[in-house]
Amino acid sequence: MTGRPRPAISALPAYKPGRSAAAAEADHGIADAIKLASNEAPFGPLPSVAGAISSGVEQINLYADHGASALREDIAAAVKVDVDQVTVGAGSAGILQQLLLAYCDRGDEVAMCWPSFEAYPVFAMLVEAEQVRVPLRNETFDLDALAAAITPATKIVFVTNPNNPTGTTVGTDDIAAFLDRVPTTCLVVLDEAYAEFVTDPRVTDSMRLLADHDNLIITRTFSKAHGLAGLRVGYAVGHPDVVSMVDRTLVPFAVNGLAQRAARASLAASDEMRERVATVIAERTRVADTLRSAGWTVPDAQANFVWLPVGDVAADLGVRLERRGVVTRAFPDVGVRVTISDATGNDRFLAALADCDITPR
């Protein structure tokens, strides 16, 4: 082996993004496949956001503001917190990695319910932390069991709301009760990448929890509802001391200038963003209702995807859908996650599923 990599890195599995439509076409000898595997928005940037990106192209020879100061100020105003409570990173995933780098060392524990976001274990292995996985209950985070799994060695606990890949939520009051059980020496990361899609009335503004819990940090992203996945910009809100630690692990200029301009413009056009999100929510409801009418089990979908908990046929179902030109995200022996697209894309998925010759379950 060239060089001497850390043993933890040699054993580290690479993060696996959703398969592309082109890869499915090549593998199965098909054409015109669609990708519903990565929870991407079915629309491009808003016109004002596209304009902000275009007008910034002439400045890409210059380094951006490393701290994204103006964007932090805009986010602070939008969520009604002080600016020193806000940090910005390369997508919320980038911030999650920064949190592990800032707070965890070899042998520390990172707790989570499972299955959840696939990057959590990768980030834990990166810092050689021990993973504590608590099973979901009815496809939903089991906060009681998660609280019981926390030990003095637990440095970080993830609460993913809505959860990815199941799309289910826990109520904000339940999160508050959970936080009351977590020692202040343990950081609670409330991962809200899909917050804008939530219609569950039990889920209210989580920012109110920050006043009583200095060990809470909330992460969000511009990748999903804002449709800026390709620009990699996310943010987190928490106690200034936590924000300061996270900032120390930020790669220099990780959030590029175009991303900063786009995120600011998207915040300024939040009403238009919400209108687009409403169309996704309407399609999500239609797709989920159609699936249930056909006999499929679909948990309450609160993100921009639906979840089919099909167990041991998940991998087979994923392949059958691909052969019919619809690329989804199959989690072997667990389930299949399907991104909500526009009406045409969703109809293609429903038709492909009906043609798969698998009994609904």
| Residue-by-residue pLDDT tens, the chain, 361 positions | 688 888 888 888 878 889 999 999 999 999 999 999 999 999 989 999 999 999 999 899 999 999 999 999 999 999 999 999 999 999 999 999 999 999 999 999 999 999 999 999 999 999 999 999 999 999 999 999 999 999 999 999 999 999 999 999 999 999 999 999 999 999 999 999 999 999 999 999 999 999 999 999 999 999 999 999 999 999 999 999 999 999 999 999 999 999 999 999 999 999 999 999 999 999 999 999 999 999 999 999 999 999 999 999 999 999 999 999 999 999 999 999 999 999 999 999 999 999 999 999 9
Q: Looking at the structure, tell me whether residues 243 and 255 fall in a common domain.
A: yes
Judge contact between 256 and 229, C-beta under 8 A: no
Q: Which pair of structure tokens corresponds to residue 105?
A: 């060392």
The predicted pLDDT at position 114 comes to 98
Domain of 74, in residue numbers? 47-269
Domain membership flag for residue 157: yes
Give a yes or no: residue 80 inside a domain.
Answer: yes
User: If residue 92 lies in a helix (H) or strand (E), which one and from where to where?
Assistant: helix 91-103
List the CATH number of the domain containing 231. 3.40.640.10
CATH of the domain at 19: 3.90.1150.10
Contacts of residue 205, Cβ cutoff 8 Å, sequence gap at least 6: 172
Identify the domain boundary among 230, 252, 269: 269
SS3 336: strand
User: What is the pLDDT, as a whole number, of residue 277?
Assistant: 98
Q: Are residues 121 and 200 in the same domain?
A: yes
Give, as one character, the DSSP assignment of residue 253: T
The pLDDT of residue 16 is: 81
Please say which residue of 254, 269, 284 terminates a domain.
Answer: 269
Task: Specify the 3-state DSSP secondary structure of 110.
Answer: strand
Pick from 106, 127, 175, 166: nearest CA to 147: 175
- Examine the domain organization and report whether 37 and 63 are in the same domain: no
Distance, in Å, from the CA atom of 294 to the CA atom of 326, rounded to the nearest integer, reads 19
* Residues 306 and 246 both lie in one domain: no
Residue where one domain finishes, among candidates 233, 253, 269: 269
What's the pTM? 0.96
Helix (H) or strand (E) segment spanning residue 284: helix 270-293
Q: What whole-number distance in Å separates Cα of residue 166 and Cα of residue 246?
A: 28
